Structure 1
Amino acid sequence: AIVKGKDYTPGEIGPVIYLNADPDLTTVQNKIEAAGGKIIQIKKLISKEHGYMALFNDTEGNRLALWSNK
C-alpha cells in the first residue's frame, strides 16, 4: 500500500512498485505527464520473455514503474 504519514518521505530511493499496465503500457505512459507526473525512463524492452517497462515519478515524487507484455 502507498501511505502518507509524518515518518514517510516520498522519493526515488528504495524499492520500486511495478503497476500492471497490460496490454500495452504506452497508453498509461502517455497519460502520466498530463496528470502531473514525470517520465524518468520511457518504455523499453526488458526481454521478449519478460515484456516492457517504464519508470516515472508521481505527483508526490515517488518513483514507480509500469509493466506490460506489449
Structure 2
Amino acid sequence: MPSQNGTMVYLNGGEDLAPMLARVAQAGGAVVVPKTEIGNDFGFFAHFVDTEGNKVGLHSMK
C-alpha cells in the first residue's frame, strides 16, 4: 500500500541530485523538500512523492 508514512528509502542522487529533482515533476511526482544542505560536509538531501504516493529521499555530496 503506497504511503508517505513509515520508513523512508533514500536513494543515491549521484554526483548532484539537482538534475534528478528537476525531472520529478515532469514524471508526475512532486518535490516536497527541495535540495537542502545537511552540513558538516555530509552533503545534501531532498524528498519527493512519487506517482504512487510514496515519499522517497535522495542524497548527494554536491
Alignment TM class, shorter chain as reference: over 0.9
Paired residues, number: 62
Q: Paired residue for 2:33?
A: 41
Question: Scaled by the length of structure 1, what TM-score is found?
Answer: 0.84
Q: Paired residue for 2:19?
A: 27
Whose radius of gyration is greater, 1 or 2?
1
Identity of aligned residues (%): 37
**Structure 2, unaligned stretches of length 5 or more?**
none
Structure 1 moving runs of 4+ over 4 Å? none
Letter in 2 for 1:49: D
Taking the aligned partners of 1:21 and 1:64, their CA distance within structure 2 comes to 11
Q: Paired residue for 1:4?
A: none
Q: CA RMSD in A?
A: 0.8
Taking the aligned partners of 1:27 and 1:65, their CA distance within structure 2 comes to 14
**Structure 1, unaligned stretches of length 5 or more?**
1-8
Letter in 1 for 2:56: L
Question: Scaled by the length of structure 2, what TM-score is found?
Answer: 0.95
Taking the aligned partners of 1:25 and 1:64, their CA distance within structure 2 comes to 13
* 1:42-69: CA deviation from partner (whole Å, max 9, x where unpaired): 0000113210000000000000011000
Structure of higher RCO (CA pairs closer than 8 Å, 6+ residues apart): 2
